[in-house]
Amino acid sequence: MDARTSKHKNAPEHGDEARAQAEGISIKRDRLLASLTLIGGAGLLIALPFALRAGAEFFLPVTAALVIAIALVPMLEWFERRGVPSRIAAALCVLIFLVMAIFAIGSIVLPAVDWVALLPERLPKVRAALEPLLDLYKAFDRFVERILSQIVIAPDASRTVRIETPNSLSGLLTTSAPHVLIQLFFALLVIFFFLAGWTAMRKKTIVSRGSFEGALTTARVIQQVVDATSTYIGTITVINVTLGALTALILWQLGMDSPIMWGGIVAVLNYIPYLGPIASAGLLFIGGLMTFPDVWSAMLPPAIFVALHMVEANIITPMVVGKKLTINPLAILIALSFWAWVWGTTGALLAVPLLIIMKTVFAAAGTPDIAGFLFEEGTLTHVGEAEEKDEDEEPGQIGSQADSGGSVDRVGGVT
């Protein structure tokens, strides 16, 4: 009896020890998974930019086509709700986009070719207008050379510098045009097949989830990505077209040649945050020098554009977009710098839509919790869901969000 009694007394102690060992093993396993996840994520982040840059001929048209296709999904769904078959609706969306793109490119490229042809003829006029600035620059350059000649050793005469002449514009267009046309055709095919299979693909993705909660989360994330991307691109497009139209109208009143071209340049470059307006002002100044007789008159077009842009950037855009898609300016600058380095000007145009898509997905799926790995447990944190719960707990907010586009305000938790 004593042996049995002692055995029963020791049983709970052994159970506690086994439970403690199991918990210790579970913690070690979680830490190992967290470390592997963070190491794999860090390696992916390091390798991905170089892979995207090296494979730009494939990744760039595919990414641009997917972003455009996601922005066209609301138009596709509008056609489908009216009984149009998916393939015909996709073809109509591609056709409408193609017509708008051809009109925009034609209104910019064709007049730009004429301006480039007039450049040799108007170059003396530009030089005469810039004569005071050139004299100031020459005086400063002579001053710098005089200072450097006293402190810098003369360069080695054996060194030679080779200056290669750039290729001609016609040769560049001849060699690059077929490649660009193939990429554009490939991108249009991606847009069409993405839109044609969008409804079936979304349904299959949601139904294939193993639980109702997983299906609901998948449907919510898909809808959030579509709403956020289409809302941003659509709203910014309307704002940029309006800004370009006002700029073209004012330039036409000033007597500047090809005002539609300048309005189109302003509208396109305004898609690039911060750097686009600076480039537009510089190009307008060059165009003013080729049109007006002096520097002060040439500064009038960029000054007018800067004034319009200040009103648009500080009043119109925050009022229209700010409540729906507020993005951290630092995140915009980092995304702009990254995608411009990877894919050049096209990457800069895609920077903000890609940032919105990634923030929307991360807000729903969770972001890497580096602080939790270092000091606690876990690898992902669901910031977006917490924000949504906080918004839902506020009294009187649900109805107002539903009435004022609150579904888009929640889209992706883009804060």
146 falls within a domain: no
Q: Of the given ranges (42-46, 173-177, 180-184, 228-232), which has the lowest mean pLDDT?
A: 173-177
Answer whether residue 112 is part of any domain. Answer: yes
* Residues in a beta bridge with 380: 368
* 290 found inside a domain: yes
- Cα 120 from Cα 48, distance rounded (Å): 44
In this predicted structure, the answer to whether residue 56 has a pLDDT above a threshold of 70 is yes
Residue 17 within any structural domain of the chain:
no
Number of domains forming the structure of the chain: 1
Residue 23 lies in a domain: no
Whether residue 229 contacts residue 357, with contact meaning beta carbons closer than 8 Å, is answered with yes
Rounded-to-integer distance, Cα 59 and Cα 53, Å: 8
Q: What is the C-alpha separation between 386 and 338, in angstroms, rounded? A: 29
* HSE, side-chain direction, 13 A CA sphere, residue 39: 6
pLDDT tens figures, 361-415: 877 766 666 665 555 555 555 544 444 444 444 444 433 333 433 333 333 333 3
* pLDDT for the residue numbered 241: 92
321-322-328-332 Cα dihedral, nearest 10 degrees: 20
| Amino acid letter, 342 | V
Asked if residue 14 belongs to a domain, the reply is no
Does residue 313 surpass a pLDDT of 70?
yes
- Give Cα separations from 61 to 114, 184, 228, 286 (angstroms): 29, 7, 21, 32
The pTM for the full model equals 0.67
Burial of 114 (0-12, 13-18, 19+ CB in 10 A): exposed
What's the chain's average pLDDT? Answer: 75
Coil/strand/helix, residue 268: helix
φ/ψ (deg, to 5) at 152: -110, 135
Radius of gyration of the chain (CA): 30
For residues 116, 117, 120 and 126, what is the CA-based torsion angle, rounded to 10 degrees? -50
Cα distances from 341 to residues 53, 54, 104, 319, in angstroms, run 8, 12, 25, 31
Residue 50 resides in a domain = no
pLDDT digits (tens, 9 = 90+) for 131-183: 666 666 666 666 667 776 666 544 444 444 444 444 444 444 455 566 777 88
Residue 319 within any structural domain of the chain: yes
Helices (H) and strands (E) in the chain, counts: 17, 2
Closest to 366 (Cα-Cα) out of 379, 354, 375: 379
Residue closest to 271 by CA, chosen among 86, 68, 110, 412: 68
Count of CB atoms situated within 10 Å of the CB of 34: 21
The average pLDDT across 333-348 equals 88
Domain residues for 283?
Answer: 56-138+180-413
Q: What is the mean pLDDT of residues 319-339?
A: 77
